[in-house]
Amino acid sequence: MTQLRAVVTGASSGIGAATVRAFRGAGWEVVAVARREERLRALADETGASVLVADVTDQADVDALRDRVRELGPIHALVNNAGGAKGLDSVEASDPEDWRWMFEVNVLGTKRVIAALLPLLREGAIERGVADIVNLTSIAGHVAYVGGGGYNAAKFAEHALTAVLRLELNGEPIRVIEVAPGMVKTDEFALVRFGGDRARADAVYDGVPEPLVAEDIAEIIVDAATKPRHVDLDLIVVKPVAQSAPHLVAKGPLTVRSAGRA
Ligand SMILES: NC(=O)c1ccc[n+]([C@@H]2O[C@H](COP(=O)([O-])OP(=O)(O)OC[C@H]3O[C@@H](n4cnc5c(N)ncnc54)[C@H](OP(=O)(O)O)[C@@H]3O)[C@@H](O)[C@H]2O)c1
C-alpha cells in the first residue's frame, strides 16, 4: 500500500500544528513547514513528522523546500495554512506594510508553494489515484467586515486563486479544497494580529461560548483529504455556533429563546 505523505505549512502553531498531529494520527508521513525551528523540532519529537524550516514568502526557501520534499518522494496532500492577519484598522488608517505582509504570506506564499509542489502532487496522484491541495482561507475571504481591510483583501485573493486553480486543474485527479473557518481560538492568531498585545488578543475570545479550536479544523482537513477519491469538498465554511457572521458573535451562553411548542 502507498505510504501517504502530506506537506503542511504554518505548522509551528495553531491549526497547522494540529493538522500535523491529525495526519500523523491517521498514519500519514508529514513534512511540517514554518520559520521557527525550535517549535518544529518539538513537534517532530512529539509526532515523528519531518520538519523543514522555510519562509513561504521567500522563493529561495520555497525552492529548497521543493528539493528536500522531492528527496522524500511524491506527496498526496498539500495544506497551505501559513498565513494570518495584521491589524484591525480602517482602510484609511491601516499600515500598508501590514497589507504587504498579509499579501506576501496568505496569497503569494500559497501561490509559491503550490507552484513548487504541484509536480510532486501529480506524482502522488498517479500513485494514489487522487491528490489534494487544501488552502486555509477564512470567512474573511468571503464576507467583508469593518477593520478587515488588508486581511479581507488577502483572503478574498486567496479564495480567488483557489477557484482559479480548480479550473486550471480540471481533468486532473487533484482536488482543490478551500477550508474557510470563522473564529478559531488559537494561541497566536490574534496575538500576531495585534502585534503581541496579549490583553487585546485575549479579548477577542472573551465571553464567546465555545469558539472553534485548532483540532476542529485539523479534523476537517484530514477528513476532506481522506474522502473517497471521487468526492471533492470544494469549499468548507466552518464557524462556531455562536458566530453568524464575522461581525456577529454571540457572547455568553447560547440559550434557546422559547421551547417552541404551541
Ligand atoms: N485563528 C483563526 O481564527 C482563523 C480563522 C480563519 C482562518 N485562519 C487562517 O488559518 C491559518 C492558521 O491560523 P492559526 O490560527 O493557526 O494562526 P497561527 O497560530 O498564527 O499560525 C500561523 C502559522 O503560519 C506560520 N507562518 C507565518 N508566516 C509564515 C511564513 N512567512 N512562512 C512560513 N510559515 C509562516 C507561523 O509559523 P512561524 O511564525 O514559525 O513561521 C504559524 O505556524 C492562517 O492562514 C489564518 O489566516 C485562522
**pLDDT digit of tens for each residue in the chain (262 aa)?**
799 999 999 999 999 999 999 999 999 999 999 999 999 999 999 999 999 999 999 999 999 999 999 999 999 999 999 999 999 999 999 999 999 999 999 999 999 999 999 999 999 999 999 999 999 999 999 999 999 999 999 999 999 999 999 999 999 999 999 999 999 999 999 999 999 999 999 999 999 999 999 999 999 999 999 999 999 999 999 999 999 999 999 999 999 998 766 6
* Separation between Cα atoms, residue 30 and residue 69, nearest integer Å: 10
Structural domains in the chain, sorted by start: 5-249 (3.40.50.720)
- Long-range pairs of 121-127 with CB within 8 A, sequence gap ≥ 24: 121/74, 121/75, 121/76, 121/78, 121/174, 122/172, 122/174, 123/73, 123/74, 123/75, 124/5, 124/74, 124/75, 124/76, 124/77, 125/76, 125/172, 125/173, 125/174, 126/74, 127/2, 127/74, 127/76
Distances (CA, A) of 138 to 3, 81, 84, 88, 151: 30, 11, 10, 15, 9
Distances (CA, A) of 115 to 22, 56, 111, 135: 25, 12, 6, 13
Q: Ligand 1 centre from 193 Cα, in Å?
A: 10
Give the cell for residue 21. 498531529
Residue 211 Cβ contacting ligand 1 at under 6 Å: no
Q: Ligand 1 centre from 111 Cα, in Å?
A: 16
In 10 A of CB 43, how many CB atoms?
24
Q: Ligand 1 centre from 120 Cα, in Å?
A: 24
* Separation between Cα atoms, residue 110 and residue 139, nearest integer Å: 17
Q: Which of 41, 55, 81 to mutate to test the pocket of ligand 1 (most atoms within 8 A of CB)?
A: 81
What is the position in ligand 1's atom list of the atom closest to the CA of 106? Answer: 45
pLDDT confidence of residue 259: 72
What is the position in ligand 1's atom list of the atom closest to the CA of 181? Answer: 6
What is the position in ligand 1's atom list of the atom closest to the CA of 55? Answer: 32
* Separation between Cα atoms, residue 130 and residue 229, nearest integer Å: 6
Which position among 99, 151, 156, 189 bears the catalytic label? 151
Q: Look up 145 and say whether it is catalytic.
A: no
Q: Ligand 1 centre from 10 Cα, in Å?
A: 5
Residue 181 Cβ contacting ligand 1 at under 6 Å: yes
